[in-house]
Amino acid sequence: MKKTLVFAITLLTASGCIWIDDDDDDCCDEYVEEIIYINQTAYQVDNYIDDVYVGTVAADTELHVFGDNYEGRHTFFSDCVNCSLSWGPTQFTLREGETFRIFLEDGGAMSAQ
């Protein structure tokens, strides 16, 4: 009886002390990167990051793209809708949490800040 009681207490104690701590965010980026396409042309422009479409920016407006996976080196390409202008492909490197501005200018010039 004494052995059975000790075994039962040991089993209950051992099995009752285990839990999963899923509040630890060390595995993921804490900061969100923002990429702003500033269209300084009179045309609509389709925009791509690493060959993935991220949106169209209207003439003389801005497109804001947010994500936590843009840290590092990426290839940017923009293509005018219904005209022959294009920008890139150009590679830029973003830091974690960075706000990155891409200026799309007449003549196909792409500059960044």
Count of helices and strands (H, E) across the chain: 1, 8
DSSP state of 61: -
Q: Which CATH architecture has domain 31-112?
A: Sandwich (2.60)
Q: Where are the domains of the chain?
A: 31-112
Tens digit of each residue's pLDDT, the chain (113 residues):
555 544 444 444 444 444 334 444 455 557 899 999 999 999 999 999 999 999 999 999 999 999 988 999 999 999 999 999 999 999 999 999 999 999 999 876 666 66
Count other Cβ atoms within 10 Å, centred on residue 56. Answer: 15
Per-residue DSSP letters for 8-54?
HHHHHHHHTS--------TTS-SS-EEEEEEE-SSS-EEEEETTEEE
Q: What is the pTM of this model?
A: 0.71
Nearest of 59, 79, 84, 74 to residue 112 by alpha carbon: 74
